[in-house]
Amino acid sequence: DTGVSQDPRHKITKRGQNVTFRCDPISEHNRLYWYRQTLGQGPEFLTYFQNEAQLEKSRLLSDRFSAERPKGSFSTLEIQRTEQGDSAMYLCASSFGGAVNEQYFGPGTRLTVT
């Protein structure tokens, strides 16, 4: 078990471009979460999957953001028409079952929009 992995670790893009991030959770974990963290702030919840179903989305997740978990394993987060305000660390976490299960976090993908 290598933990939660995220790819890429860093992404620099120009405003208006689309970007896609990938998260590979711990293999037996059925729940997967995406968070956004800006400098000096704690992680902000974006969305949550149980298996392949997207069960909860934050109002922070504008129409330009979309997340998928097609086979209940890895997940992708796509941002279309990036804006400078999208610059942040995007964190993925996974957990297994239970109501108050521990979330295991990946190292994050740092996005810089120029």
Which residues would be at the binding site for another protein (CB under 8 A)?
3-4, 31, 33, 35, 40-45, 48, 55-56, 58, 91, 93, 99-100, 102-108
Over the range 2-21, which residues count as b (16 or more CB within 10 Å of their CB) and which as e?
eebebeeeebebeeeeebeb
Nearer to another protein, 7 or 17 (CB): 7
Residue 74 Cβ vs another protein, minimum distance, rounded to whole Å: 17
Nearer to another protein, 44 or 68 (CB): 44
Residue 105 Cβ vs another protein, minimum distance, rounded to whole Å: 4
3-state secondary structure string across the chain: CCCCEEECCEEEECCCCCEEEEEECCCCCCEEEEEEECCCCCCEEEEEEECCEEEEECCCCCCCEEEECCCCCCEEEEECCCCHHHCEEEEEEEECCCCCCCCEECCCEEEEEC
Nearer to another protein, 14 or 28 (CB): 28
Residue 42 Cβ vs another protein, minimum distance, rounded to whole Å: 3
Nearer to another protein, 38 or 62 (CB): 38
Residue 57 Cβ vs another protein, minimum distance, rounded to whole Å: 10
